[in-house]
C-alpha cells in the first residue's frame, strides 16, 4: 500500500496539545493550514518532551553555525486548545527532526506505527513505500513557539510526589519510598 504523507509547508498552526484530564490525557501533534485542513496524530508525553528538547537544541546549534536569525526562547503565545474535532490520523512510532539549510526551516516528521518496526531510513525520506507520516516545515520562530507550548503542555500534568517523583493522583498514590503506604 502506498505511503500517505500529510505535508505542511509553513502551516498556520503547528502545536502539541492534549485531550483529557491530567493522569488520563492523550497527547497530539496538530498541524493546520489556512485552507481548513487540520491533521492530528497521537503520541506519548515523553515523545512530546523529547521533540521539544531536540528542537531547542537544533535551533541553538543553527544559531551558532549559520547566518540565519534564530530567535531566543519565547513566551507561549498560542494558548488555544487543539482545533476540534481532534480525529487521530495515526499513532506516532518514530520522529525525525532536521534543518533545511536551503529553506532556512526546521523539518519535523512523525511516522505512523505499523506491524513492523519503523526503519530509520524511512524517516524523512521521500520513498513511496513505508508508513504514513506527518511532515511539517516551519520557520525558526514557529519552532521556538512550538517548543514553548510543548514544554508548557508537558508541565501541566499531575504534580510529582516530593518523595519519589512519581505523579500524584487526586486520590494519592502508593509511594515506594514509604514502603507502599498511600501518600
Report helix angle 140-155 to 45-65, nearest 10. 150
Task: Decide if 68 contacts 62 (C-beta within 8 A).
Answer: yes
| Cα R_g (the chain), whole angstroms | 18
The pLDDT of residue 161: 83
pLDDT per position as a tens digit, 150-169: 999 999 888 888 888 788 77
The pLDDT of residue 26: 96
Q: Which residue has the cell 496539545?
A: 17
Distance in angstroms (rounded) separating the CA atoms of residues 80 and 122 = 33
The pLDDT of residue 121: 73
The pLDDT of residue 83: 93
The pLDDT of residue 79: 81
pLDDT along the chain (183 residues), means of 10: 89 96 91 93 96 96 80 78 94 95 94 80 79 95 95 87 80 76 59
Instruction: Break the chain into its structural domains and give their ranges.
Output: 5-158
DSSP, residue by residue, the chain: -B--EEEEES-SEEEEEEES-TTS-EEEEEEE-TTS-EEEEEE-HHHHHHHHHHHHHHHHHHHHHSSS-----------PPPPSS--EEEEEEEEEEEEETTTTEEEEEEEE--SSPPPGGGTT---SBS--EEEEEE-HHHHHHHHHHHHHHHHTSPPBPTTT-PBPPTT--B-GGGTT-B-
Is CATH 2.60.40 what the domain over 5-158 is classified as, yes or no? Answer: no
Amino acid at each position: 500500500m502506498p505511503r500517505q504523507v500529510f505535508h505542511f509547508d509553513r502551516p498556520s498552526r503547528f502545536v502539541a496539545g492534549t485531550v483529557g484530564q491530567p493522569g488520563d490525557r492523550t497527547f497530539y501533534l496538530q498541524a493546520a493550514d489556512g485552507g481548513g485542513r487540520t491533521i492530528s496524530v497521537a503520541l506519548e508525553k515523553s515523545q512530546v518532551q523529547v521533540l521539544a528538547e531536540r528542537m531547542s537544541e537544533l535551533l541553538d546549534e543553527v544559531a551558532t553555525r549559520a547566518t540565519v536569525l534564530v530567535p531566543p526562547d519565547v513566551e507561549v503565545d498560542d494558548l488555544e486548545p487543539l482545533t476540534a474535532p481532534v480525529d487521530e490520523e495515526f499513532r506516532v512510532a518514530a520522529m525525525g527532526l532536521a534543518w533545511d539549510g536551503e529553506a532556512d526551516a526546521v523539518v519535523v516528521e512523525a511516522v505512523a506505527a505499523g506491524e513492523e518496526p519503523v526503519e530509520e531510513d524511512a524517516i524523512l525520506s521521500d520513498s513511496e513505500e513505508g508508513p504514513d507520516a506527518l511532515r511539517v516545515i516551519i520557520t525558526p520562530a514557529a519552532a521556538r513557539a512550538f517548543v514553548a507550548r510543548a514544554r508548557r503542555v508537558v508541565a501541566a500534568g499531575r504534580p510529582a510526589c516530593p518523595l519519589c517523583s512519581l505523579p500524584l493522583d487526586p486520590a494519592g498514590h502508593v509511594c515506594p519510598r514509604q514502603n507502599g503506604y498511600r501518600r
